[in-house]
């Protein structure tokens, strides 16, 4: 008789196997144990920026268009994406500008915006280290 049908027990990797830390655990390490910064970064930065298919200018234009139309939810999302791209680019000014806009639409519903805004230079430094390590490359501005 066999119990637990459907899933076999996962085996530990053999000793000496090359085990890479996951992207999220490495992000936690780069944040130096600062849980508030880690949570904000894990919510707002792109862990795989190669999957961004729309150019930055298009994202920004859409956000501005939605803002002009009064569609605050879509404007917030657009500015949030623009802020995430700014993190990727290492643009502290853009991080402040776009996450500030997103925060103005979100109110208190996204405390991670406030964290990033208070610590934008530190957030950009963490993002830079992360992207350099995970081969995402930092585009030259």
Q: How far apart are CA 116 and CA 44, in angstroms?
A: 9
Q: How many domains does the chain have?
A: 1
Residue 110 lies in a domain: yes
Of residues 19 and 46, more confidence is placed in 46
Residue 91 lies in a domain: yes
Residue 51 lies in a domain: no
Residue 24 lies in a domain: no
For the entire predicted model, the pTM comes to 0.79
Amino acid 48: pLDDT: 85
Residue 48 lies in a domain: no
Q: Which domain holds residue 74?
A: 56-141
Task: Please state, in angstroms and as integers, the Cα–Cα distance from residue 42 to each residue in 6, 17, 45, 85, following that order.
Answer: 33, 28, 6, 14
- The percentage of residues in the chain with a pLDDT greater than 90, rounded to a whole number, is 67
DSSP one-letter string for 54-111: S-HHHHHHHHHHHHHHT-HHHHHHHHHHHHHHHHHHT-HHHHHHHHHHHHHHHTTS-H
Amino acid 90: pLDDT: 95
* Listed residue (138, 133, 101) closest to 116, CA to CA: 101
Amino acid 7: pLDDT: 46
Report residue 13's pLDDT band, with 50, 70 and 90 as the boundaries.
very low
Amino acid 99: pLDDT: 98
Angle in degrees, CA 108, 112, 113, rounded to 5:
75
Residue 140 lies in a domain: yes
Is the distance from CB of 78 to CB of 60 less than 8 angstroms?
yes
Burial label, 82 (beta-carbon count in 10 A; 0-12, 13-18, 19+): buried
Report residue 71's pLDDT band, with 50, 70 and 90 as the boundaries.
very high
């Amino acid at each position: 008789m066999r119990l637990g049908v459907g899933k076999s027990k996962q085996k530990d990797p053999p000793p000496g196997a090359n085990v890479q830390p996951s992207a999220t655990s490495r992000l936690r390490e780069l944040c130096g144990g600062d849980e508030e910064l880690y949570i904000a970064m894990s919510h707002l930065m792109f862990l795989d920026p190669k999957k961004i298919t729309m150019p930055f200018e298009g994202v920004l234009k859409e956000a501005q268009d939605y803002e002009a139309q009064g569609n605050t939810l879509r404007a917030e999302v657009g500015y949030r994406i623009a802020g995430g791209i700014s993190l990727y680019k290492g643009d502290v000014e853009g991080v402040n500008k776009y996450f500030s806009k997103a925060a103005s639409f979100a109110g208190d519903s996204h405390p991670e915006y406030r964290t990033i805004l208070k610590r934008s230079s530190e957030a950009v430094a963490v993002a830079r280290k992360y992207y350099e390590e995970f081969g995402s490359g930092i585009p030259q501005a």
